[in-house]
Amino acid sequence: MRWSVLPVTAVLAVLVVAAAAGPSAAAPGNGGISGVVRNATTTQVMANQAVSLVFVGTQGPEQVAEGRTDTKGRVAFRGLSDGRYLVQTTHQAVSYAAHAVVSGGATVELVVKVYDVSASVALRVALLGMAIDVQPGYVRISEVVHLQNGTSQTFLGNIAFPLPRGARFITFHEGLHRPAVQGDRITDRLIVRPGSHQAAYAYTLAGEGEIVLDRQIPLPVERLELFATAPAEVRSPRLEPAPTVTEEGRTYTRASGRSVPAGLLPMTIAGVPAVRLWPAPAAAGTLAALLVVGLGWAVLASGREEATRRGG
């Protein structure tokens, strides 16, 4: 059986699953892992490449062995006990890993793919999701950006995420490295391996009645999904209203767009209640985080329902 390189999110999932079961430390056994390290950009094998073997047990990841590939790019680890392992290597300052499950003393075959690094890789936004938690006198907006790298190179460079005018109480979530706010944007230096990469952040805008949310979109967006706590709603000439959804007893209005071009995206949040006292921003941030989790499931559910209707 062959196992290919895993994205970071999949590697984290392996760690979570392994924490629930399995031995706490690697002990000698009869199993093995044999694989090859290949540069997927050039299609060449990587000779004399440093490789480490990590055992994933109840006590967390533990490095148990090191090795180097031979002239054919191969590396082997013998005498392994049953359990989950990560085979890791680094190429041009970017780490890569493949995982394998050793069972019954068998030898697992795997391939660790690495990629050449470039700052000129053309990225695209497959999905931009916005969850808008409407409160009296302000809105707390959580954004999730799904970057897509469809090339055979790893992007390593600076990325900017524009913010609307007046954004305050900016917080950073998953997928960001060392973000900083510079004027009207979040800047960061990111690694985006071939495949998808998710970045998330949140901010607050003050106002009542209608709040202008005009945004600069640096890259074309294939799919844009917006949710707002009802009865407030988002209006934009480039977006279409979508059916409302209810999640955990709360109703959300929706707006959706496909193939949104780069440039100015005019948006307005209508129906923001007036405020008597400015609330604590920490509480708003917590609500927004919960909102994103719930709406993620709502998007998937609505997509499945739509596909079912079309199929029927």
CATH of range 124-311; options 2.60.40, 1.10.1410, 2.40.10, 1.20.120: 2.60.40
Beta strands 263-265 and 215-217, pairing class: antiparallel
Structural domain 8-115, CATH architecture = Sandwich (2.60)
Whether residue 14 is predicted with pLDDT greater than 50 in this model: the reply is: no
Q: What pLDDT was estimated at residue 134?
A: 92
Beta strands 154-162 and 138-149, pairing class: unpaired
Q: Which two tokens stand for residue 4?
A: 């290919």
Q: What pLDDT was estimated at residue 277?
A: 56
Beta strands 268-272 and 233-235, pairing class: antiparallel
Whether residue 74 is predicted with pLDDT greater than 90 in this model: the reply is: yes
* Cross-strand partners of 192: 155
Average pLDDT over residues 35-58: 95
Domain with CATH 2.60.40.10 in the chain: 8-115
Query: For the purposes of burial, counting CB atoms within 10 Å of the CB of 29, is it exposed (0-12), middle (13-18) or buried (19 or more)?
Result: middle
Q: What pLDDT was estimated at residue 301?
A: 53
Q: What pLDDT was estimated at residue 60?
A: 85
Q: Output the pTM of the full model.
A: 0.77
Whether residue 283 is predicted with pLDDT greater than 50 in this model: the reply is: no
